[in-house]
Amino acid sequence: MAIERVGVAGFGAMGSGIAQVCAQAGLAVAVREVDQAAIDRGWKAVDGSLARIVKAGRMSEDDAKATRARIRPTTSLADLRDSDLIIEAVLELPDVKRKVFEELDRVCPPSTIFTSNTSSLPIVDMAAVTKRPDRFAGLHFFNPAPVMALVEIVKAITTSDETVSTLRAFVQKLGKTPVVSKDVPGFIVNRLLVPYLLGAIRVLEQGVATPEEIDTAVKLGLRHPMGPFELLDYTGLDINLHVANVFFDEFKDPTMAPPPLLKRMVAAGHLGRKSGKGFYEYDEKGERKK
Ligand code: CAA
Reported as a single tens digit per residue, the pLDDT across 8-18 is 999 999 999 99
In this structure, which residue's CA is closest to atom 30 in ligand 1? 225
C-alpha of residue 157 to centroid of ligand 1, in Å = 33
Confidence class of residue 34 from pLDDT cuts 50, 70 and 90? very high
Confidence class of residue 120 from pLDDT cuts 50, 70 and 90? confident
CB 237 within 8 A of CB 278: yes
Percentage of the residues of the chain whose pLDDT score is greater than 70: 100
Reported as a single tens digit per residue, the pLDDT across 155-199 is 999 999 999 999 999 999 999 999 999 999 999 999 999 999 999
Instruction: Give the pLDDT confidence score for residue 101 in this predicted structure.
Output: 98
Confidence class of residue 286 from pLDDT cuts 50, 70 and 90? confident
Instruction: Give the pLDDT confidence score for residue 290 in this predicted structure.
Output: 81
In this structure, which residue's CA is closest to atom 47 in ligand 1? 143
Pocket test for ligand 1, best of 52, 140, 194, 218 (most atoms within 8 A of CB): 52
Reported as a single tens digit per residue, the pLDDT across 55-92 is 999 999 999 999 999 999 999 999 999 999 999 999 99
Integer CA distances (angstroms), 248 to 117, 186, 187, 236, 258, in order = 20, 11, 14, 18, 8
Please report the atom of ligand 1 found closest to the CA of residue 52: 13
Instruction: Give the pLDDT confidence score for residue 238 in this predicted structure.
Output: 96
Residue 242 has pLDDT above 90, yes or no: yes
What b/e string do you get for 12-50 counting C-beta neighbours within 10 Å, with b at 16 or more? bbbbbbbbbbbbbbebbbbbbbeeeebbeebbebbeebb
In this structure, the residues whose C-beta lies within 6 A of any atom of ligand 1 are 49, 52-53, 56, 58, 119, 142-144, 146-148, 190, 225-226, 231, 235, 239
Instruction: Give the pLDDT confidence score for residue 285 in this predicted structure.
Output: 85
Residue 136 has pLDDT above 80, yes or no: yes
In this structure, which residue's CA is closest to atom 26 in ligand 1? 52
Segment 127-153 mean pLDDT? 98
